[in-house]
């Protein structure tokens, strides 16, 4: 269960790092797929294939499906706000603005989550968390710097991505109300199955994917990577952190995504690292330390632990 002061242990920090790598890749996969497929069809393939990949695991773990409308309702709500709306809004946003700017706007998710959870009375509005998230968003902006690359109709793309981040914030609240007896694997699979049903209706009406030309092999590889890594595996990790550390903490992953994308570009692709990127990463790291709170608490206790010497 989440700690009373919203702190995160080392295991969950490691899981957040893994999740940032998995979700950071989704921006790359989206960019490849959007060259040949429309946004809603992309989202449909993502959730359908992700659900299919998890079905055999449900069988091996003997996880039972929800029963009745009341059993499925929480997963349809989670699928709507955590998959259908944000995936669609952000992918549409990426057709107007570059991926770098989209990831910066996505990094506002923890701020929305903190405010929404406080407004719903689920968590206290802690000043250090709000300040830390704001500093983190500034760090993401510094990290990307002049790579934002504004385009025409950028305003619409920005609004779409912010709406996606807001939807993720609502998903944090919905996640608090998910059945606690369902393991993370089951929650990940059930919300993607619910998302598949909703996206099948929307994509059928808007895109009519059966009329689209067959994509090339590169696009299909990107779809498979998006479904297997950035969706199926990522949501198993996501719901494990959600159960252990709480909804606002798991949304901190959006601050880490740009940093891991930079590190992957350097380590895997050999891309050079600019001083601006190092400064941005350090600002984000300091923001996460402020949000976690343990370093601040350590400094506040340090003077009290100093032995008193009399003269």
> What are the tens digits of pLDDT across the range 213-243?
999 999 999 999 999 999 999 999 988 888 8
Rounded percentage of the chain residues whose pLDDT exceeds 90: 34
What is the secondary structure of 16-42 as a DSSP string? HHHHHHHHHHHHHHHHHHTTTS-HHHH
pLDDT at residue 167, as a whole number: 95
Could you read off the pLDDT of 250-271 as tens digits, one per residue? 777 877 777 776 676 667 656 6
Rounded CA gap, 207 and 297, in Å?
53
Phi, psi dihedral angles at 205 (to 5 degrees): -75, -40
Q: Which residues contact 166 (CB under 8 A, 6 or more apart)?
A: 112
pLDDT at residue 4, as a whole number: 47
Rounded CA gap, 37 and 242, in Å?
32
Answering whether pTM is above 0.85, one says no
Res 6 pLDDT > 70 = no
Q: Judging by beta carbons within 10 Å of its beta carbon (0-12, 13-18, 19+), is residue 270 exposed, middle or buried? A: exposed
């Amino acid at each position: 269960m989440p700690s009373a002061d919203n702190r995160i242990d080392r295991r969950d920090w490691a899981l957040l790092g893994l999740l940032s790598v998995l979700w950071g890749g989704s921006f790359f996969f989206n960019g490849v797929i959007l060259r040949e497929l429309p946004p809603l069809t992309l989202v449909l393939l993502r959730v359908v294939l992700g659900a299919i990949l998890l079905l055999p695991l449900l069988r091996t773990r003997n996880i039972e499906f929800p029963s009745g409308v009341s059993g499925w309702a929480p997963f349809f709500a989670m699928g709507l706000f955590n998959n259908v709306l944000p995936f669609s809004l952000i992918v549409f946003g990426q057709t107007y603005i570059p991926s770098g700017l989209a990831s910066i706007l996505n990094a506002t998710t923890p701020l929305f989550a903190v405010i929404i959870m406080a407004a719903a009375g689920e968590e206290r509005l802690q000043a250090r968390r709000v300040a830390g998230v704001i500093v983190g968003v500034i760090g993401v902006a510094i990290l990307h710097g002049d790579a934002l690359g504004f385009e025409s109709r950028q305003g619409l793309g920005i609004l779409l991505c912010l709406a996606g981040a807001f939807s993720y914030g609502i998903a944090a609240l919905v996640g608090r109300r998910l059945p606690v007896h369902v393991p993370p694997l089951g929650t990940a699979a059930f919300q993607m199955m619910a998302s598949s049903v909703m996206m099948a209706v929307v994509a059928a009406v808007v895109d009519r994917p059966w009329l689209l030309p067959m994509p090339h092999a590169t696009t299909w590889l990107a779809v498979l990577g998006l479904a297997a890594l950035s969706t199926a595996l990522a949501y198993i990790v996501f719901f494990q952190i959600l159960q252990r550390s709480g909804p606002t903490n798991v949304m901190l992953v959006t601050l880490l995504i740009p940093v891991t994308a930079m590190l992957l570009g350097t380590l895997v692709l050999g891309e050079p690292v600019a001083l601006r990127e190092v400064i941005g990463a350090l600002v984000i790291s300091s923001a996460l330390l402020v949000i976690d709170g343990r370093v601040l608490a350590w400094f506040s206790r340090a003077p009290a632990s100093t032995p008193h010497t009399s003269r």
